[in-house]
C-alpha cells in the first residue's frame, strides 16, 4: 500500500495483497504482449510462422512459381517428383509445384472471404438474437434454421447457380452456408454471458446496449467463435475443393488446391503426386489454422494469460 493519507487507516490488506507486486506493468502495448505469449506456445508459434509463409507464397505467387500455371509440356506428362519438377507433373505436363504455389492464392482467398462473410453476418445475427431474446431471437433463429435445413452443398450449388461460377461467388456461397453455424455458436455463447452479473453491473452504471454488447458480451462470448473461425477456415478450403470438383468453383485450367486434388483423383493409382501435394497443402494449412486458433483462444483469456506469463517469469 502506498502511504496516502486516508481519513481512516485503510483496512489491512488481505493475505493475497502481498502476492501482487505494486508495480505498473502495462508498459508494453497489449498486442505485443499477446504476440509474446503466443510465441511461447510452440504449436501456435510454428503454425503462425507456417501460415505467414503460406500467405507470403500466396501473395508473391507469380514471382515464386518456376513456370506459369498453364504451361503445357507434352513430353513431360506425369513425371514423378524430380529436381526439375519438385512435385512432379500432371497429365498435361504442367508443373505441379508451380500450380500448388499459384493455387494457394485462390484457395486462401476463397477461404478467408467465405469465413469473413460467415463470421461477420453470422456473429452479428447470433449476438442480437442471443442478447435481445424474445421475438428478435425467434425471427432470426428461425431464418437460420431455414438456411440450416438445406444440405450445405445443395445450398452452395443454388447460390452458384444464381450468381454463376467463379472464385468470388464460391466464397460467397460457402460463406452463406456457414452463416447459421456462426449464428448458432455465437448465440449459444451470448446466452450464457448475457446473464452474467457483470453485464447487469455494467447496466447498473448506465451503460448502453451497444456498450454492453461490444465491451462485455462479445469479448466474453468470443472463445468459441474464435475456435469456430479456425475450424471454418479449414472447412472452407475443403468446401472450395468440393465445389471445384463439381465444376462450380474455380474453373479449369485455373489452379486451386481443391480442384487439383479432384483432378488428381483419376490418376491416384499411377501418379500419386498429382493429388498428394495439393492434398498436403490443404492439410498443412488447415492444421495450422486450427493450432493457431487454439493458441489464440488461450492467449486472449486473461486468466490463462497470467498462468502462462507467471510460469515464465
Binding interface with other proteins (CB under 8 A)? 1-2, 4, 6-8, 10-17, 20, 22-26, 196-198, 200-208, 211, 215-216, 219-220, 301-303, 305-306
> Which one, 60 or 198, has the nearer CB to other proteins?
198
Cα separation of 232 and 115, whole Å?
Answer: 7
- How crowded is residue 63: how many other Cβ atoms within 10 Å of its Cβ? 8
DSSP class per residue in 152-197: HHHHHHHHHHHH-SSHHHHHHHHHHHHHHHHHHHHHHHHHHHHT-H
CB of 5 to other proteins, least distance (A): 10
CB of 280 to other proteins, least distance (A): 38
CB of 220 to other proteins, least distance (A): 6
> Which one, 146 or 201, has the nearer CB to other proteins?
201
Q: Which of 49, 82, 36 is nearest to 284 (CA)?
A: 49
Helix (H, G, I), strand (E, B) or coil at 95: strand
Per the listing, cell 445450398 goes with 155
Q: Which of 221, 230, 223, 219 is nearest to 292 (CA)?
A: 230
Cα separation of 184 and 127, whole Å?
Answer: 9
DSSP conformation class of 217: I
Cα distances from 36 to residues 21, 45, 100, 223, 297, in angstroms, run 21, 10, 32, 19, 14
CB of 113 to other proteins, least distance (A): 29
CB of 14 to other proteins, least distance (A): 5
Cα separation of 90 and 98, whole Å?
Answer: 11
> Which one, 303 or 313, has the nearer CB to other proteins?
303
Cα distances from 122 to residues 102, 129, 231, in angstroms, run 30, 10, 15
Cα separation of 220 and 229, whole Å?
Answer: 16
Cα separation of 52 and 67, whole Å?
Answer: 23
> Which one, 33 or 91, has the nearer CB to other proteins?
33
CB of 209 to other proteins, least distance (A): 10
> Which one, 197 or 270, has the nearer CB to other proteins?
197
CB of 232 to other proteins, least distance (A): 23
Region at 80 (left for phi over 0; alpha for psi -120 to 50; beta for the rest):
beta
> Which one, 71 or 137, has the nearer CB to other proteins?
137
CB of 43 to other proteins, least distance (A): 24
> Which one, 96 or 296, has the nearer CB to other proteins?
296
> Which one, 13 or 168, has the nearer CB to other proteins?
13
CB of 16 to other proteins, least distance (A): 4
Grid cell for residue 311? 510460469
Amino acid at each position: 500500500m502506498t502511504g496516502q493519507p486516508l481519513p481512516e487507516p485503510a483496512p489491512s490488506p488481505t493475505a493475497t495483497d502481498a502476492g501482487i507486486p505494486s508495480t505498473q506493468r502495462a508498459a508494453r502495448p497489449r498486442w505485443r504482449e499477446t504476440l509474446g505469449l503466443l510465441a511461447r506456445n510452440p504449436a501456435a508459434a510454428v503454425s503462425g510462422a507456417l501460415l505467414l509463409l503460406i500467405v507470403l507464397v500466396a501473395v508473391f505467387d507469380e514471382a515464386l512459381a518456376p513456370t506459369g500455371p498453364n504451361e503445357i509440356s507434352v513430353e513431360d506428362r506425369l513425371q514423378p517428383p524430380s529436381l526439375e519438377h519438385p512435385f512432379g507433373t500432371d497429365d498435361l505436363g504442367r508443373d505441379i509445384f508451380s500450380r500448388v504455389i499459384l493455387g494457394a492464392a485462390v484457395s486462401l482467398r476463397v477461404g478467408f472471404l467465405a469465413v469473413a462473410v460467415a463470421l461477420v453476418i453470422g456473429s452479428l445475427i447470433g449476438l442480437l438474437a442471443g442478447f435481445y431474446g424474445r421475438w428478435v431471437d425467434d425471427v432470426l433463429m428461425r431464418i437460420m434454421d431455414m438456411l440450416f435445413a438445406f444440405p450445405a452443398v445443395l445450398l452452395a450449388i443454388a447460390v452458384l447457380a444464381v450468381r454463376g461460377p467463379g472464385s468470388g461467388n464460391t466464397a460467397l456461397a460457402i460463406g452463406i452456408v456457414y452463416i447459421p453455424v456462426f449464428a448458432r455458436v455465437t448465440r449459444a455463447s451470448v446466452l450464457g454471458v448475457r446473464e452474467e452479473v457483470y453485464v447487469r453491473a455494467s447496466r447498473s452504471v448506465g451503460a448502453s446496449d451497444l456498450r454492453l454488447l461490444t465491451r462485455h458480451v462479445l469479448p466474453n462470448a468470443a472463445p468459441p467463435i474464435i475456435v469456430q473461425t479456425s475450424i471454418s477456415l479449414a472447412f472452407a478450403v475443403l468446401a472450395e475443393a468440393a465445389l471445384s470438383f463439381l465444376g462450380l468453383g474455380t474453373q479449369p485450367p485455373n489452379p486451386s488446391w481443391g480442384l487439383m486434388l479432384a483432378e488428381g483423383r483419376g490418376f491416384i493409382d499411377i501418379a500419386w503426386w498429382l493429388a498428394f501435394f495439393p492434398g498436403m497443402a490443404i492439410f498443412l494449412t488447415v492444421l495450422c489454422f486450427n493450432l493457431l486458433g487454439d493458441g489464440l483462444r488461450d492467449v486472449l483469456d486473461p486468466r490463462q494469460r497470467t498462468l502462462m506469463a507467471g510460469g515464465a517469469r
